[in-house]
């Protein structure tokens, strides 16, 4: 549920600057483009998953370097 909220809230802030600056779309065009994805996020019949990755490592000790 939290991840759904995060996805919903991400659509506009993640797209707006990238699409207006790089694709030269207008803000209105970007908003219109987000209607479909927003509906998909709210559709309870879709079972979508995302991977969260935690990667960690160690700098070698001096005698290992």
- Smallest separation (angstroms) from other proteins to the CB of 8: 9
Q: Is 29 in the site for other proteins (CB under 8 A)?
A: no
d(CA 44, CA 47): 8
3-class SS of residue 39: helix
Q: Is 24 in the site for other proteins (CB under 8 A)?
A: no
Number of residues that bind other proteins (CB under 8 A): 54
Give one word for 24, left, alpha or beta, with left for phi > 0 and alpha for psi -120 to 50.
Answer: left
Residues that bind other proteins (CB under 8 A): 1-7, 9-23, 27, 30, 33-34, 36-37, 39-62, 64-65
């Amino acid at each position: 549920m939290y991840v759904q909220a995060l996805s919903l809230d991400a659509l506009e802030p993640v797209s707006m600057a990238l699409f207006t600056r790089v694709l030269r779309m207008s803000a209105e065009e970007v908003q219109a483009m987000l209607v479909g994805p927003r509906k998909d996020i709210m559709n309870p019949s879709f079972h979508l998953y995302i991977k969260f990755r935690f990667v960690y490592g160690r700098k070698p000790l001096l005698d290992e370097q």
